[in-house]
Chain A
């Protein structure tokens, strides 16, 4: 990052607007994910409807960011840090949009669920959801602070997400084992678990994009993997 601004003020403003919109999108997606976790734990169907309708706002922001990026590429032919910022913003906004979609998918699965799901099952979903929410908050903070150390730490934590997903899947399997009539509900819960895990994968992608933005290089090595969640 540079402490000196561009000679052309409008270029500086264009990059600043892009950055502001990405931060705005990050906050919105963070709220969507957090609301969907809260709604699934409480089986709150009204909250689910709100999450589903709010997804349009996320998509709108993503479209705005994409337009802004195309404009910057055409008008400015950005170089070095500006090029990396533009490319990383495009990738991060795409991952944020996918996390938004996954929050919406979780919300859609809430409607058929009863209020008396087993406490162990709810606890394991809560543990997984809490970790993924914390990861998203941390990666957005790391973006604001341009912290490569935080990016690496978040990247490594995906292993724990895999482990907690594995544990949650086991709880769903136990729930199904108790009564074959639970098949429909268990299928919904498996999708919920998988969606939360995939949100974690997108957060790891964001950490990778952030590292590239700061360092101009990709994080070396394969992603740390936990227990196979599937």
Chain B
């Protein structure tokens, strides 16, 4: 289940703000299929496919210029 699945934008924003606050003191792991949410809230992103870790890097690198073609094809909506 996604972190803020089925929530309206305001409730989603409140959860993301809470994550922003908590991340100063804690390491938070979230699992999501929402690319835009992953970009907004995380510093590092890992892409998993069929139980395997395909790529882990900074969120900026993953979403701007991923090193693995499978990661790129997934986040650009070429397979799901």
Q: Is A116 an interface residue (CB 8 A)?
A: no
Interface residues of B (CB under 8 A from A): 35-36, 39, 63-66, 69, 71-73, 75-80
Tell me if A80 and B66 are in contact (CB < 8 A): yes
Tell me if B64 and A2 are in contact (CB < 8 A): no
Q: Which residue of A lies closest to B66 (CB)?
A: A80
Tell me if A84 and B64 are in contact (CB < 8 A): yes
Q: Which of A88-145 contact B (CB under 8 A)?
A: none
A contacts with B, residue count (CB < 8 A): 18
Rounded to whole Å, the gap between the CB of A211 and the closest CB of chain B is: 12
Contact of B73 among A2, A216, A217 (CB under 8 A): A2
Interface residues of A (CB under 8 A from B): 2, 4-8, 11, 77-84, 215-217
Tell me if B76 and A79 are in contact (CB < 8 A): yes
Rounded to whole Å, the gap between the CB of B38 and the closest CB of chain A is: 10
- SS of A interface (majority): loop
Tell me if B65 and A2 are in contact (CB < 8 A): no
Measured between beta carbons, the chain B residues less than 8 angstroms from A84 are 64-65
Tell me if B78 and A80 are in contact (CB < 8 A): no
Tell me if B35 and A81 are in contact (CB < 8 A): no
Contact of B64 among A6, A77, A216 (CB under 8 A): A216
CB-CB nearest 10 A-B residue pairs = A216-B65, A4-B78, A79-B75, A80-B72, A82-B76, A6-B77, A79-B63, A79-B76, A4-B73, A80-B76
Measured between beta carbons, the chain A residues less than 8 angstroms from B66 are 80
Contact of A79 among B35, B69, B79, B80 (CB under 8 A): B35
A-B contact pairs, 29 of them (CB 8 A): A2-B69, A2-B72, A2-B73, A2-B76, A2-B78, A4-B78, A4-B79, A6-B76, A6-B77, A6-B78, A7-B79, A7-B80, A8-B77, A77-B35, A77-B36, A78-B76, A79-B35, A79-B63, A79-B75, A79-B76, A80-B63, A80-B72, A80-B75, A80-B76, A81-B72, A82-B76, A84-B64, A216-B65, A217-B65
